[in-house]
Amino acid sequence: MSTAFISHPDCHRHDMGAGHPECPQRLAAIEDWLIAHGIDTALDRHDAPRAELRSLERAHSARYVAELKAELEALEQQARQGVPNPMKALDPDTSANAHTWSAALRAAGAAVKATDLVMDGRAENAFCAVRPPGHHATREQAMGFCFFNNVAVAARHALDVRGLDRVAVIDFDVHHGNGTEDILAGDERVLMVSIFQDPLYPYCGAEPKGPNMLNLPVPPYTRGAEVREMIESLWMPALERFRPQMVFVSAGFDAHRDDELAQLGLVEADYEWITLRIMDVARRHAKGRIVSCLEGGYDLGALARSVGVHVRTLAGI
């Protein structure tokens, strides 16, 4: 089984400031775990390209892309002019530095490249170890640590460029993927299923925005057994009926019991089980085609272990 692993050094250089949970060390922790467990050499590694603007505009408005480009390229220019560590806050949680524009392009570009690799049969599935994450970025707004919606960009690429008729988006981050919902709600070519803690940022999702959205809010302190039961009884029948031709995953690992940004109780075995159930759907309906993109996960140890299990399961190791 061939699993592509797509990342880029630029994704390490985006930095929102000292003490920010969405930090460059997240990717380093994942890499260290894969090396320590001998998994890195079993993966088909690729550098993430910079996404083309037209790819971004399949999920975001041209106005938003142009305005964000201007703002973030201005930081690059300031750095070239000698301004030490220029930064700009886009919202109370989301800041950019001189490397953010390149990192955001690489993150979205990784998802598009992964889609092409899987569609062309050069990999059965793919994991994008990228940051910034994407699932809070709406069509018109950066928020929640996110600038471009990597999974939505990739899903639209599969539909509009690669010609698929149906794709599924599966989001198991502890926070609701409001940006993905904003972009894809009402698109009958997409089924999005998600499970998330409620109440919790971004404080929405209990009422789906479209008939193609299956949102499962769960209360704080929900454990893995309950999450598995809900996935089995609600996600799986919907995915079976929809018969997706490709599966995209917003893979957030902040529902882990050790993650302090939320209060759910998942452990590595739960992420392995979720990955296996996603693979079951993909094998039956999508020729095994899965593209998974890193979203949240802020306890470095829990993140590394959980991503490791996810990637190891995708690769059949």
| Active site residue ranges | 136
Rounded-to-integer distance, Cα 206 and Cα 200, Å: 11
Residue type, 263: Q
Cα dihedral 305, 221, 150, 123 sign: positive
Cβ atoms of 176 and 198 closer than 8 Å: yes
- R_g of the chain computed on alpha carbons: 18
d(CA 108, CA 309): 23
In whole angstroms, what is the distance from residue 9 CA to residue 156 CA?
26
Sequential DSSP letters for 10-55: HHHH----TT-SS-THHHHHHHHHHHHTT-GGGSEEEEPPPPPHHH
Q: Is the bond into 244 cis (omega within 30 degrees of 0)?
A: no
CA 33 vs CA 45, 52, 271, 293, 300: distances in Å: 16, 32, 16, 18, 10
Q: How many CB atoms neighbour CB 80 within 10 A? A: 10
Reported residue count of the chain is: 317
